[in-house]
Structure 1
């Protein structure tokens, strides 16, 4: 295979996965990111849910579930190969609880039917055994009244389901990626660099060549450019001749990342389905907590959304209090987390999704997340990751589809 010079834009999980695969295949990779370090935004600061499709109960066609399932099942083996170690220690140890809220866009019985249908898809998939926890016998259990009462006493929670879906601690994963990138001699990191545009080199007569324009000047020539930016991807695509299509949403969200002084017995739970929240218990002491209305800072349909506001200390305290309070009203165990806090930070990043509307509206196209993947203009390749869990499989698809 001929070695290529390739620019990868974005050093989150998608760009870093592609960069590692390409470098290990003998290519020279220039990895660009606006932050001072890789994995500084949403790829580090999210819940790490490795989706099998259960959360998309507002898409009863199962189109979204079928689309996301292969990436979720392939995540563990592909990730372990990329970072060179096992990930069992960073995986939530128990199945998720899905708690149906009174104002859910899907009622409890319909949610139960949907969850059972997705479980059947998982069981039938040949790769079900390689999920974070073996899912080859995947089943969804509806909580009894007594079991539900042990989790919540809120009248707003109408039903609960035990769902075999899990998450990874994204901080831990991010640190392993950063180590792998630093150890790869064929990857040159260009950090603190804002990408403005890309363009073909017209002077090159044989083959196709590109250069990158950034806040630091011109970079290149490159045989390929892979645009894996999370924020600003569409604006760069347009400079390569890939104009934006359809409708989209850029949301800037913040959540809490907490560590307790002692182990707390709180479940990993999702309040479904709509603009609610969730909690992830990674190991008894490290937690992710979100409440969507409190954490949503910005929702923009612009190709290049404005910079999010910078919160002062008072605003951070207010949002932290709001997330804890709203979750505790539904899950009393969150109060135990707050009581034993050792440290807590409010962090997040941009979330891009094809579709628009409000999550409180069952007609919103944001409830359907099957429209993502790879597009190209010659040797300029753009990747809409869709979800964190999809990145390793998309990176493999990219290098295979383009013969890299």
Structure 2
């Protein structure tokens, strides 16, 4: 196998995983990122749900579940091999609770049928044993009112389900990936560097040139655009016209560390613009409330990042999430009372979909239009979901290396 010089644009979970996999195959990889550290943005600051399709209960075609499953079921295997680490101490220890809101865009009976069909997809999939836990025989389970009433006593909740999904602490993953990149001798990091264009030197099947904001230009055998919010703009310079129908959003969420362990189930209010809580290990928590956290969205080639929240705005944001989640999930109050550190962090969300989550017909309720576009030696990767990134990186590393 000939050694290649490869540029990876973007040091999120996809770009970082791909760079490590390519380097281990003997290639020389240069990773570009605008931040001062790898894996510093959306891949570090999100809930870490390793999706199996249940969140997309409004997609009764099950296209989302079918598209997501191969990557999500491989997440644990690929990432644990990549980091040479046991993921179990950093993942949620119990199945997620889904609470159906009375204003859900999908009624509970329909949702229950869809969950059952997703259960069947899981059982049919040969990779079901490779999820963060073995889900080859797992099923979603309807909870009695008394059981889900232990989590929420609000009359806004009309049904509850336990589904076999888990989440991972993305801050731990980000730190581990960053350390692995820095210790890999075949990886060169070009941080605090913004890509301005990528163009073929001669034909698209030959070398490509990458230009950066400092005026530098460098040629590579292969270029992989693994940017997130900046991907479409670079694709245009490479001659790839984005497929219509995308959207950018920017969301803030809470990341809380407590002084002592707090017993709280990971739970999500569904289906629509509601919120959720993740309990990774009893002391590290994620919380969100969609209407408060969604601060900017648009359908342009790029979306301007909102200004950072000052101390007063940060406090108001945390108070708003605390108040709204607390009405539905009163157990979250114990987390705030025990908190020793509360961070408000955010990131961009790209989707080949649009519309409001409160509109049952909006394409935003589906995630089946992501993948790789290729123009000769240039690859553009829409990761789709955090949970599919390591598997996509593995597939792409094999393709670039010739098998």
Query: Under TM normalisation by the shorter chain, which class is it?
Result: over 0.9
- Counterpart of 1:365? 363
Contact 2:205/2:376 (<8 A) preserved: no
- Counterpart of 1:329? 327
- Counterpart of 1:88? 88
The superposition leaves residues 78-119 of structure 1 with CA deviations (integer Å, 9 ceiling, x where unpaired) of 001111111110000000000000111100111111111101
Aligned residue pairs: how many? 402
d(CA) in 1 for partners of 2:243, 2:125: 32
Contact 2:25/2:401 (<8 A) preserved: no
Contact 2:204/2:375 (<8 A) preserved: no
d(CA) in 2 for partners of 1:66, 1:226: 25
- Counterpart of 2:108? 108
d(CA) in 1 for partners of 2:96, 2:320: 23
Equivalent of 2:254 in 253, 256, 277:
256
Q: SS at the partner of 1:55?
A: helix
Q: Is it true that 1:319 corresponds to 2:334 in the alignment? A: no
Within-5 A mapping of 1:28-177: 28-177=28-177
Give the superposition deviation at 1:384.
Answer: 0.1
d(CA) in 2 for partners of 1:172, 1:210: 34
- Counterpart of 2:197? 197
Q: Is it true that 1:5 corresponds to 2:5 in the alignment? A: yes
TM-score, normalised with respect to structure 1: 0.98
d(CA) in 2 for partners of 1:153, 1:270: 14
The superposition leaves residues 329-360 of structure 1 with CA deviations (integer Å, 9 ceiling, x where unpaired) of 00000111111111110002101001110000
- Counterpart of 1:346? 344
Unaligned ranges ≥5, structure 2? none
d(CA) in 1 for partners of 2:16, 2:99: 34
Equivalent of 1:388 in 383, 386, 389:
386
Contact 1:211/1:218 (<8 A) preserved: no
Contact 2:250/2:305 (<8 A) preserved: no
d(CA) in 1 for partners of 2:262, 2:53: 28
Range with bigger deviation, 325-334 or 390-399: 390-399
Q: SS at the partner of 1:275?
A: coil
Give the superposition deviation at 1:260.
Answer: 1.0
d(CA) in 1 for partners of 2:149, 2:303: 43
Contact 2:16/2:177 (<8 A) preserved: yes
Unaligned ranges ≥5, structure 1? none
RMSD: 1.2
Give the superposition deviation at 1:137.
Answer: 1.0
Give the superposition deviation at 1:225.
Answer: 0.4
Contact 1:74/1:130 (<8 A) preserved: yes
Give the superposition deviation at 1:207.
Answer: 5.9
Q: Is it true that 1:276 corresponds to 2:279 in the alignment? A: no
- Counterpart of 1:242? 240
d(CA) in 2 for partners of 1:172, 1:365: 32
d(CA) in 2 for partners of 1:263, 1:403: 46
- Counterpart of 2:210? 212
Give the superposition deviation at 1:400.
Answer: 2.4
Q: Is it true that 1:18 corresponds to 2:18 in the alignment? A: yes
Contact 1:19/1:187 (<8 A) preserved: yes
- Counterpart of 1:374? 372
